[in-house]
Chain A
Amino acid sequence: GAVVSQHPSWVICKSGTSVKIECRSLDFQATTMFWYRQFPKQSLMLMATSNEGSKATYEQGVEKDKFLINHASLTLSTLTVTSAHPEDSSFYICSAPIASGGSYNEQFFGPGTRLTVL
Chain B
Amino acid sequence: KAGVTQTPRYLIKTRGQQVTLSCSPISGHRSVSWYQQTPGQGLQFLFEYFSETQRNKGNFPGRFSGRQFSNSRSEMNVSTLELGDSALYLCASSEGTSGFTGELFFGEGSRLTVL
**Does A pair with B?**
no
A residues neighboring B (CB under 8 Å): none
